[in-house]
Structure 1
Amino acid sequence: MALLAWNVRGLGNKDTVRALKNICVKHKNGIVFLSETKQKRRYLEKIRMRMKMDNGFYVDPVGTAGGLALWWSNDVKMSILAYEKSFIDTVISINGEDEWFGTFIYAPSYDVEKQGFWERLGSLRDDVNAKWCIMGDTNTVASPNEKDGGSTFDHNNAKWFHDFMEKSYLMEIQSKGGTFTWSYQRSEKNVIREKLDRVLSSVEWNFLFPKAIAVIEIPIASDHTPIILLKNGLKKKARTEFKFESRWMLEEECLNIVQEEWAPTEQRNHRGTFRVKLRRTKVKLWKWNRENLQVNGLQGERKLFERMMIIENEEQGKG
């Protein structure tokens, strides 16, 4: 069972709701945490039922800012211990497993509020041996390599986060996928990217789930990427199934590969030609994806994001 944390930047957009549904179907999430929903619980309840989640808890936004939603299936036993506009603290047991504390956060973005937030969060657990997992938007760049573009890394901004991690004896769960979880484009050539969303855990929680890994999804429908926590790790597949990725359509090279392999030939065996072309196209696309979008992940991620922004700007210009 997977857990999802995502700063959706408003859940009133149909594209965001569609993206959320696709993520839930893909990962079979048993727990879904959404921050900055900007919606009242009456509307969010309708979305929850569409996602086929059995239970829900909400922290309403202040005006049109903020808002938290926490959904979970009946396979999850969950109790709400505390909450405020920036977090929901719970105790969780999944499918009868040992109980652990789960805290879902949307840390404040203003520096003047950060010290108080991390101190309040640290006061939730008196026992440093507690099984504790925290996931969500930390709104903090923890190190220089978690930032690309914009102003230089601010050590003072990260101080309260590091103090919290040290006093609470927490570590960050290993992640897989992109490097950054938030992007902002000021101009065509001025893109800022940072790692703000993450999963933290105590040593005791890691002993409980030693294979746990966080998956950073691709950016879609929000300036924050969804974070998926797989507490039992990635499942190994005996055979890799070929799947055409929708993001490939943003790459010109993908179109060139398809056009080249499906160009007219003089072969008479049309059925054989179809099979050969299909197989060759699959092989070439698989190799191209591995060599250009997976191995060169950072460059591929930057290129993908820039193309998405260009297309979005073009569509807005047409509107």
Structure 2
Amino acid sequence: MTLSFSAKLNRREGIAGGLALWWTNDVKLSVLTHDKNLTDTVISINGEDKWFGTFIYAPPYEEEKQEFWERLGTLRDDVNAKWCIMGDTNIVASPNEKYGGTPFDYNNAKWFHEFLDRSYLIEIQSKGGTYTWSNQICEENEICEKLDRVISSLEWSFLFPKAISIIEIPVASDHAPIVLLTDGLKKKARKEFKFESRWTLEEECSNIVQEEWTRTEQRNHRGTFRVKLRRTKVKLWKWNREKFGKNKTSANDIANKIKALHNGPMTRENAVKLKDLKAELSKLWESEEMYWQQRGKTVSAEFKTHRKNG
């Protein structure tokens, strides 16, 4: 399923934000109700079973929490409904979800736990980072909390038994993005070798093919077609990764470093490193975006020229 959600983007009220929700063509979604704190929907993916999806930005103020969680509990009368809730709960649910700042407040969490108990909901397992929000202040003033999560009814978890949420690294926000994988983590399939048309523009490609194809095989291979083809394929594959895979590899490496820093102590030195790494990652993403935008414009221009020339 491809379903993206973000809090604090639309329906701005002063410095506060609202909710934004967007989806791909394989998702059929109908909005049932919408306000500044929640968007309640009915969802179906590829014509399969319908289920309720509620996306929330819970109020951060103590005096509004009880009303919000009680109101959220009234959305579903049937405890057997297929229901998934995702977003910013603005509540630390347990002591191990908080680091730094004031001690864990059980009273602050009671409305959330009472809501879970009344509605028979459970939290979906998460992987990645430990916390989803930080005040981005280093050393003794650092505060980290898990505020964002995915919860669901038992009926929904039976529909998606492998579902898991991934806590990604925060780059442009003090909140970490949450990704819900309804089909769980999948093993990467082995990629098939394909000759890329852009290779023909590189002189290195021609040199590799010529070098490997003219090499004399030793032993009993006798320079057979199959051996030459396999050897050339391996060389081209390695060359492609070094030549064109640099940006992607660099971005992944930087992302892993950012995640490691977020999960460690936020010293002043680490804070400086974190800022530099985020800037570097943002620059790589911008470069990648510009590459695809330019590629799209080139294809569009070629198509228009082709139609004009008949």
Both structures adopt the same fold (TM-score exceeding 0.5)? yes
Q: Give me the whole-angstrom Cα distance separating, in 2, the residues matched to 1:221 and 1:61.
A: 18
Counterparts in 2 of 1:307 and 1:82: CA distance versus 1, 3 Å = farther
| Greater mean deviation of Cα atoms: 175-184 or 303-312 | 303-312
- The residue correspondences of 1:284-295 to structure 2 (distance < 5 A) are none
Q: Give me the whole-angstrom Cα distance separating, in 1, the residues matched to 2:20 and 2:137.
A: 30
Q: Give me the whole-angstrom Cα distance separating, in 1, the residues matched to 2:274 and 2:79.
A: 47
Counterparts in 2 of 1:190 and 1:77: CA distance versus 1, 3 Å = same
Give 1:205 shift: 0.1
Of the two, which has the highest radius of gyration? 2
- The residue correspondences of 1:48-197 to structure 2 (distance < 5 A) are 60-197=11-148
SS in 2 for 1:302: coil
Alpha-carbon contact 1:179-1:298 (below 8 Å) kept? no
- The higher relative CO (CA closer than 8 Å, separation ≥ 6) is in 1
| Greater mean deviation of Cα atoms: 147-156 or 67-76 | 67-76
Alpha-carbon contact 2:132-2:175 (below 8 Å) kept? yes
Listed as ranges, the gaps of 5+ residues in structure 1 are 2-29, 40-59, 241-270, 279-284
Confirm or deny that 1:33 pairs with 2:29.
no
- The residue correspondences of 1:194-273 to structure 2 (distance < 5 A) are 194-238=145-189
Give aligned-pair identity as a percent.
Answer: 62
- What is the CA RMSD across the aligned residues, in angstroms? 3.0
Deviations 1:13-33 (CA, angstroms, capped at 9, x unpaired): xxxxxxxxxxxxxxxxx2221
Confirm or deny that 1:302 pairs with 2:264.
yes
Give 1:62 shift: 1.7
SS in 2 for 1:77: strand
Counterparts in 2 of 1:149 and 1:167: CA distance versus 1, 3 Å = same
Deviations 1:242-267 (CA, angstroms, capped at 9, x unpaired): xxxxxxxxxxxxxxxxxxxxxxxxxx
Alpha-carbon contact 2:261-2:274 (below 8 Å) kept? no
Q: Give me the whole-angstrom Cα distance separating, in 1, the residues matched to 2:48 and 2:90.
A: 31
Aligned length: 219
Q: Give me the whole-angstrom Cα distance separating, in 1, the residues matched to 2:101 and 2:182.
A: 34
Give 1:218 shift: 1.2
Structure 2 counterpart of 1:301, one-letter code: N
TM-score (structure 1 length as normaliser): 0.62
Counterparts in 2 of 1:163 and 1:67: CA distance versus 1, 3 Å = same
Q: Give me the whole-angstrom Cα distance separating, in 1, the residues matched to 2:122 and 2:82.
A: 12
SS in 2 for 1:121: helix
Structure 2 counterpart of 1:215, one-letter code: I
Give 1:63 shift: 2.9
SS in 2 for 1:156: helix
Structure 1 counterpart of 2:271, one-letter code: M
Give 1:305 shift: 8.6
Counterparts in 2 of 1:304 and 1:230: CA distance versus 1, 3 Å = farther
Q: Give me the whole-angstrom Cα distance separating, in 2, the residues matched to 1:306 and 1:210.
A: 42
SS in 1 for 2:68: helix
Counterparts in 2 of 1:74 and 1:300: CA distance versus 1, 3 Å = closer
Alpha-carbon contact 1:140-1:158 (below 8 Å) kept? yes
